Amino acid sequence: MNMNNSSKTQYVENLEPGGYMYFFENQVPATITTDGGSTLTISSQHARDGQQSLQWLFTQGSRLILNQEVGFQPQADEATPHTFLTWLYHAEPLDEQLTFHFGQGEAVNASFSISLAFSGWRGIAVPFRDMQGEAIEGMDRLTIIAPESAGQLLFDQIILSIPVDHRWPTPDYVVPFINPAVNTGPNKNWMAVLMYDQMLREHYDDFNFTLPFDDTSGDTAILYKNFDRHLAVNSSSTISQEKIDANLAKYTQFMLRDNPDGSITGKPLDHPKRQNFMRVDGILSPESLALLTDTINISVLGKALLETAKFLRTDSLSAENRRQLEARFIDGSRYAFEQGWQGGSGYQIVSHVGYQTRELFDAWFIGRRVLAQRGWLASAQQAMMWFSATGRIYEADETIIDSNVDILNTQLQWMIKSFLLLPEITVREALLTQLQSWLSKTLLASDGVGGGFKPEGSVFHHCQHYPAYGKDAFNGLGVAIYGLSGSPFRLSQAAHQRAKEVLLKMRIYTKETHIPLPLSGRHPDDKQVISAAPYQWMARAGSPDGTQTVDRELAAAYAYLANKPDFEGIPAESEPVGAWAMNYASMAVQRGRSAVLADKSWLVIARGFSRYLVGNETYEANNLYGRYLQYGHVAIEPADYSLRAFSHDGWNWSRYPGTTAIQLPNDQLIATLHQLPGAGIEEMLLSTETYSGATTLGDESSLFAVKLHGHAKYQQQSFRARKSCFIFANRIIALGSAIDNRDTEHHTETTLFQHKVPAGEVVEVNGEAINSIGTHLSLQGETRFKDPAGNRYFIPAGQQVRFSYDNQASNHEDDGTPTQGLFATAVIDHGKAPQQQSYEYAVVIEASGSSKPDYQVLRQDVSAHIVRDGVTGTEGYAFFSPVAGLTETLIIGSDSPAMVLANQLNAQEMHLSIVNPDLALYRGQDPDQIDANGDQVEVSIYSRPWGSNLSKIQVTQILIAGSWSLAEPYSAVTLVRQQNNSLLTIETRDARPEYIRLLKI
C-alpha cells in the first residue's frame, strides 16, 4: 500500500467525543491508506472546513481504506439513527459510481454506492439503516472502492458514525436511496427536493438554455416588471462611489481564489440548520466544533450579491465600476455553485434552507441578464428550481390536502422566479400555468389540523393557529400574488379571496401589528409583530374578482398599519371593531371602540385548547414555562397599547390572565422535553376534552368556554375545570366551576390580572390607590380593582382574593436565565387540592365610572354556565353537557354540549348563534394517547392518524321557550314546534357557529 506523505510522523487524527472523524488539517492520518497505485495527499486547493482536504488520486478499482472503529451502535433511538457523513469534491461529472463498504476486517456488513455525476462539493449523510446489508457493532473498517476509471476526489469532514435526527439526511441524485420517509414526512416541503424534482422531470426532462434570454415579450413580461418593482430595481438611480466601494469590499470576507484548473474556491459556505447535528453534546470537541462552524452563511453571500445585482441594473455606472461589479457577481455565483449550491445537491441536510437562500435567489433573478450573457443562467436557474422544490406544482389533486406556510414564505416566490429564468417562453408559460392551478388549489386546502388557511381566518402551521408563521407566509405570498397579477397566471378568484380574508383577519387579532400573548406560540416575548408590507402588495394586486386595480379594503388596512393617512388615494381605516369566533384557534376575539382614543379600539382574546388543538409549543430554547398559556387565557389589550399588561422580565408563568392553573415554581413548571416519533425535541400537549371554542352574536357579544384537563405527563391528570367568558360590549363576565385536583402541595388559582408597573403605576384596590412596593393583601369581601390600563374588576364576596404589588423573580422563557420585574397581580385562590370550587368576576374595559356591570348569573355548575346581560338582555349559555328543564330563560335546554347566544330584540324577533365547539376530527378515543391506567400519554401532534381528517357534522338540538318560526330558510337548520315551544335542530361542521333569526308566531 502506498501513502504519499512527506512527514515521517504519522498519527491518528481527530478522535472526537462522538467517535472517529477526519478533518485533514494536518497530515494524512496513519489510519487511512490506499492501494492499486493510488496516492493520498493533503490538498489546499479546496476545503469544506479549515484550509485542507484529503486528495485521492485513484486508479481503476483501487481502494481507500480507513482502519479504525467505525463506532456504529445499534439503533437504540429510532429518532436519531447512526449515520455516516462526508463531503466529496469532484472536478467534472463522471457517469460512474463510488462504493462504500463498512465491516470487520475484510468482511462487508453494510454498503452503499453513490453517483459521481456531479462537479464541485457534495455532502452526503447516509443512515446505516438505509445501507445494503446490516451494520453491526464492532465494525472497524471503511473501504471506499474507486470507479472503473482513474480520477481524483477530495474528501473532507469524514464522520464515520454519529446519531443524526432521522428527519435531516436529504436524498439527492448522489444518494437517492436514503431516508425515503422524507417524501411523506411533515418536513417534506424542505427535505423532499429529489422527489419534487423527479415529478418535474416527468414533464420536462431537460431545458433549452441555448436560446437567447428575453424578459420583455409575451404574457410573462409583466411578471418581471412586478417582481422588479417589489425588489426596488431602479435603472435611473445613481449609486455613489462610496456605496460601490463598500459593496466590492464585502467580497473580501469570502476569501475567493481562482485555481489553475479554472475552479474557484473560498471560505466554506453553509447554512445554520445543517450544523445542528454538530452542536449536539458529545459529538465534537469545542475546538473541532469551532473549526467546522467557521463558515459563511449562504445568506451573507446572497445579500452581497443582491446589492451588486441591484447596482448592475442602474444606468449610471461607469464602465470600470460595471466591470468590477460584474466580475464580483459572477465570481460570487461561481463560488456558490462550487460549494454545492447546485441543482441536484442535497447538501447533506437542507432543512429550512429556504430561510437562507432568498437573497441569493433574488440576486440571480435581478442579475438574470448578466448570468445569461456570461453563460451561468442555467446553473442559477437549476439551483433555484431545485432548492425551491418547484416540482410540487405537479402534485396530484387528491394529495393536496393542506398548504405549508414555509413554502409560501421561503419558496413560492422563487418557484415562480425560477420559471422566469427559463429562456424558452412557451415552457416558461406552461410551467406558470401549472403553478397557477396548483397554488389556487393549495390555498383552499387545509384539512383537519393540516397547514394553511382555515375558512374562519386561522393560519395553521405546526398543527395550530400560528400568527408568527402566518405573518411570514404573507410576506412571501403577498408578493407572489402581486407578481402574478395582471397576467393570465394570476391566482383564481376563490383562492385570492381566501388569502385576502385571512390577511384581513390578521389585523383583527393583532394590536397595532403586535401579536398578543395568547397567540405568541413558542415566543412569549412581546417581540412578535406582523408586517404591513403584505397588505401593500396584495392591495396593488387588485381585487380578487379583477374589477379593481387596487383593492380598497387592503389599501385602507395597509395605510392604517403603516401609519399613513392614505394609500393609493384610499384613506386609512380606523382600528377594527366587532366580534369573531375562530374555533380552529379555539378562541373568541372582540374589539370595541375606545371611549378615550379616537380611531382606536381595545382588543380581548379568550383562548383554550382541546384534544385536537395543542395548548402549548415548547422547544429546547423557546417557551420553557408555557404549559398554561391557553388554560382559558383572557387577554385585554388596551386601546393605548403602551398600557398593555405583559412584560417578559419577572413574569409569573403560572399566572396568565384569566387562566385557572396549579401554581408551580418555575423549576417545577419548566418543560421536560422528549423527541417523539415524527417530531423534534419539543412539547405540544393536547387535552382529552373536545369542548373549547366560541360563538358570537352581532358585533358586541361573544361567548368563550372550555373544559380544562391537566396532562398526566406532569401528574396533573386530576386537574379539571369548567371555564367561560361572556363579553357584552365592554363588559366581561368570567365564571368557573367544577375546579378539582388532588395536588396537596400547591395552590390552584384563577388569575384576574398580572400587570407590569415599571414606573410605579397606580392600582386601585377597593377605592384606595396603591403603588407601594411590597404590598400584599388578602381580601374576602366584595372586592374591586382598577388596573393601570383603566379596566375595573368586580369580584363578589365569598371568594379568597389575593393582591400583590411587588418585585417578581422569574426566568427567561428561552434559556431560563433569571429575570425580575415589578408587577401588580390579583388572583382568586382556590386553595390546595380544591374540590368542586368555583369563581365569578366581572371586568369593565375602559371603565368610565365605578359602577358594577349589570348582569345575572342564572346557572353555574358542572353542566352549564348561563349569564344574562342586564343592558341588552342577551343571554349566553355554555352547555358543557346536555341540560333540560331551564325556566325563565330564552332557552329551555340543549341535548348536547353547545354554546348559545340569544337576544330577543322585541316581542316578535329573536337572534341566535349556536355552535357545538367539537371539531369532531375523530370519534371515541385515540388509543395511542391512553395508557393501561386510562391516563393520557404524550404523543406528537404530527403523528396523529386523524390529523388530516375532515370535520364531521355535529347535530345539536336546542329547545326554545315559546312558538317561533325561521325568518328565512337555513340549509343546516330546521325548526319544529313542540307543544308551546320550538325545537331547533342545527348541523354544524368545523365548529362554525350558525346565526339564526326567529320570528314569533
What is the number of alpha carbons within 13 Å of residue 260 lying toward its C-beta? 2
- For residue 180, give Cα distances in angstroms to 109, 184, 188, 834, 859: 21, 8, 10, 51, 56
User: For residues 511 and 467, what is the distance between their CA atoms, to the nearest angstrom?
Assistant: 12
Q: Do 167 and 680 meet the contact criterion of CB atoms below 8 Å apart? A: yes
Containing 338, the helix (H) or strand (E) segment is: helix 319-338
Give the residue among 531, 868, 544, 884 at the shortest CA–CA distance from 726.
868
Give me the helices (H) in 646-762, please: 666-669
User: For residues 447 and 429, what is the distance between their CA atoms, to the nearest angstrom?
Assistant: 30
Residue 103 identity: G
Containing 658, the helix (H) or strand (E) segment is: none
82 is catalytic: no
711 is catalytic: no
755 is catalytic: no
User: For residues 195 and 665, what is the distance between their CA atoms, to the nearest angstrom?
Assistant: 48
User: For residues 414 and 406, what is the distance between their CA atoms, to the nearest angstrom?
Assistant: 13
Question: Which residue among the candidates 82, 166, 462, 514 is catalytic per the annotation?
Answer: 462
Task: Look at residue 19 and give its three-state secondary structure.
Answer: strand
User: For residues 771 and 760, what is the distance between their CA atoms, to the nearest angstrom?
Assistant: 6
Is beta strand 296-297 parallel, antiparallel or unpaired with respect to 587-593?
unpaired
User: For residues 307 and 247, what is the distance between their CA atoms, to the nearest angstrom?
Assistant: 7
Give the residue among 847, 871, 725 at the shortest CA–CA distance from 790.
847
The answer to whether 526 is a known ligand-binding residue is no
Sheet containing strand 110-115, strands side by side: 32-34, 63-67, 141-145, 97-103, 110-115, 132-133
Q: Do 635 and 658 meet the contact criterion of CB atoms below 8 Å apart? A: yes
Question: Which residue among the candidates 82, 230, 271, 352 is catalytic per the annotation?
Answer: 352
User: For residues 644 and 486, what is the distance between their CA atoms, to the nearest angstrom?
Assistant: 43
The cell for 559 is 395605510
C-beta atoms surrounding 975 within 10 Å: 18
Give the residue among 360, 480, 382, 374 at the shortest CA–CA distance from 120.
382
The angle at the Cα of 232, spanning 228 to 236, to the nearest 5 degrees, equals: 95
Question: Which residue among the candidates 469, 656, 793, 877 is catalytic per the annotation?
Answer: 469
Q: Do 332 and 248 meet the contact criterion of CB atoms below 8 Å apart? A: no
User: For residues 41 and 33, what is the distance between their CA atoms, to the nearest angstrom?
Assistant: 11
Give the residue among 501, 508, 519 at the shortest CA–CA distance from 575.
508
User: For residues 272 and 305, what is the distance between their CA atoms, to the nearest angstrom?
Assistant: 19
Give me the helices (H) in 252-313, please: 286-292, 298-312
Residue 166 identity: H
The cell for 828 is 382568586
User: For residues 681 and 683, what is the distance between their CA atoms, to the nearest angstrom?
Assistant: 7
Give the torsion sign (CA, 734, 737, 740, 743): positive
The answer to whether 640 is a known ligand-binding residue is no
Q: List residues forming the annotated binding site.
A: 49, 156
Q: List residues forming the annotated binding site for Ca(2+).
A: 49, 156
Residues annotated catalytic, as ranges: 352, 462, 469
